[in-house]
Structure 1
Amino acid sequence: MSTEKTRAGCATLTYFELIVASKNLTDALSLSMKKKGGITMLQFPNQLKKLRAERGLSQEALAKQLFLSRQAVSKWEKGEGKPDLDNVIKLAEIFDVSLDCLILGKEETENCVDKSAFLYNPNTGLYERQYPKYTPSKINNFYEFSARCWPLLLIFLYFIYRMIELLLK
């Protein structure tokens, strides 16, 4: 399985690891929202309120972008409720921040998300990998060559077979 960059902590994850991480995100959102005893807790309500205010969005405007009620956004900001994973990802897209910044309150050091790599598909409700147009890469060994050029190899082997056949007659 190939590795791909994701929003989750700028880590390089396989698709399977991303699914496991997304299931754990719901558990992580249920943690306490304050710092206690040196353990870093989540800052989602504070971050949501701060990011919304920085962008000049009202709760109503943010709720419209998410296709939710204003009361849902208000509950998230108060810490009375928590969004599902799809809405957390949409919030990160709307605010143009990483999930770490949105949930944990970590400052962004660099933008590590390749926006051309993933695109939200409204029909499926999922983020899908956008593959670039085919660009032939360097062939490193005979196996790669044979995998890409097997028709040429068949023609070449047929030509050699015919030559041997003619020589033996």
Structure 2
Amino acid sequence: MESVTAIDSPTPENPLSYRLYAGRRPQRVPSRPRTSEPPPPNTALGVGVIVNGPEGVLLGRHRHRTWELAGGTVEPGESFAEAAVRELREETGLVAKPDDAQVLGTLLDRVGGVARVTVPVLVTRWSGIPHQREETIGSWRFWPLDALPQPVFVPSAQCLTAWDPALPLDHPPAHFQPYDSPGRP
């Protein structure tokens, strides 16, 4: 409150009196400071591409010494199936169509305070022979389901066990919400 001004009636027989209060509202502070920088990420969204052929499941060797499915982030405006076939082509050279990609569901876990949403996608038809196209992942090959290499990258292991819960893969738990029955082809 900055000031109070009293205005009394000019005649003594009139009991009316007015009080005028002057003050300022405090400036509103936003919940977080506004900057031109984007906020830190709080969710990671990606796809894991399961390619199961007559010789088994396709896995590549990452430079960090884990085996993993093809996969990666979903670009803005891209469906999960579109992201899966794009990542498959970029990483392995295999070509597939979004119509040949079955989205199995979503996996949700947390890593370092960031929610991670991984979408396992089963590709049922493709063409080409897998080969190394990126520096980070190579040695693409099909592995029999009963002889999978170790260690398998955690999101890849989660995708594989969402598709086939009987696979002998040990990994941290993730909540799986299926879209369809994730039966094997």
Alignment TM-score, normalising by the size of structure 2: 0.23
| Higher RCO by CA contacts (8 Å cutoff, separation 6 or greater) | 2
Structure having the higher Rg: 2
Structure with a larger share of its residues in strand: 2
Structure with a larger share of its residues in helix: 1
